[in-house]
Amino acid sequence: MNKWSELFFGLVFLIGAILVAWLSSTYNWSIFGKSLDFLSSAWIFLQGGLFWLVFLVGVLLVILGISDLKD
């Protein structure tokens, strides 16, 4: 693919994902009683990723601090 088609398809996917997330949270999509609120699940996933990022940075800093104590 050339650079323009990659850029176009990337923008289509981004706008499509944003629209699906917004529409699913606005119109309360559900199947068999289960909610398909993609915006809420994306937010929960982002919160989990942020938690693990902060946790692993803390572990890295502790390991680096212990390494510096040995010297």
> Does the reported pTM lie above 0.75?
no
Q: Is 30 left (phi over 0), alpha (psi -120 to 50) or beta?
A: beta
pLDDT band for position 23 (cuts 50, 70, 90): confident
Average pLDDT over residues 45-65: 92
Query: Over 90: is that where the pLDDT of 48 sits?
Result: yes
Look over the chain and give the mean of its residue pLDDT values, rounded to a whole number.
86
Q: What is the rounded CA–CA span in Å between residue 50 and residue 58?
A: 12
What pLDDT is attached to residue 58?
93
Q: What is the rounded CA–CA span in Å between residue 34 and residue 62?
A: 42
